Amino acid sequence: MKDYLPETASQTAGPYVHIGLAPDAAGFHIFEKNFGPTLVNSHTPGERIAIEGRVFDGSGTPVRDVLIEIWQANAEGRYNHVADRQEGKSLDADFRGWGRACSNFDTGVWRFDTIKPGQAVGRDGRMMAPHVNLWIVARGINIGLNTRMYFSDEQEANAIDPVLNLIEWEVRRQTLIGHKETRSGETVYHFDIYLQGEKETVFFDV
């Protein structure tokens, strides 16, 4: 351990995180190319979905200055990264698999437009249920919170998912399920995140 460099300490992203990571949301235009909440283009293979929700604090109040990033596999369950060498799954070079969204300053609602990910192999060769990784930062959050969203219409896969099954409190597993809704033909998974309290979402040390 002697020669090991300690990780740089985390600090909160603060209330003005949008300036750096989403300047248009802060109220000014500066970069020609911006990162945003849309992961797909018209050619992306896969089922179009939206993921939408709010983040709540320990009093039940929506957190209106939160920034969320998601990381996910493509429709075949492959990550767009050199480390992923799963066999028989094609790569869509246009699908980065990552996006960034800000909550609305008034309503607290955030939303991603993406595709439903396929299943990727987990540890010990067990398949993981389709899921999206989320990373949440905001004022008052000293170190980014990691969680996962699973899909309510994947009950069979969820039942044998190696990560969901690590959570010994079965009641808490439900906090990671995004609920499928259909709104004028559009598929939306509703996923609210509770930072603290009775309905507290499961957060992972990854």
- Amino acid occupying residue 109: V
Structure tokens at 118: 């396929």
Strand partners, 35: none
Binding flag, residue 160, other proteins (CB under 8 A): no
Q: Tell me the window of 40-48, 59-67, 150-158, 181-189 that interacts with other proteins (CB under 8 A).
A: 59-67
Question: Does residue number 171 form part of the binding site for other proteins (CB under 8 A)?
Answer: no
Tell me the per-residue interface mask from 112 to 151 with other proteins, x by CB under 8 A, - otherwise. --------xxxxxx--x--x-x-x-xxxxxxxxxx-x---
Q: Which is nearer to other proteins, 10 or 181 (CB)?
A: 10
**Per-residue interface string for the shown chain with other proteins, residues 16-45, x marking contact by CB under 8 A:** xxxxxx-x--xxx-xxxx-x----------
**Per CB under 8 A, 91 contacts other proteins:** no
CB neighbour list of residue 86: distance below 8 Å, 6 or more residues apart: 77, 78, 120, 121
Q: Which residue has the tokens 């109040």?
A: 61
Among 81, 82, 80, 85, smallest CA distance to 39 is for 80
Residues in the chain, overall count: 206
Q: How far is the CB of 200 from other proteins (least distance, A)?
A: 6
Residue 147 tokens read as 């969680």
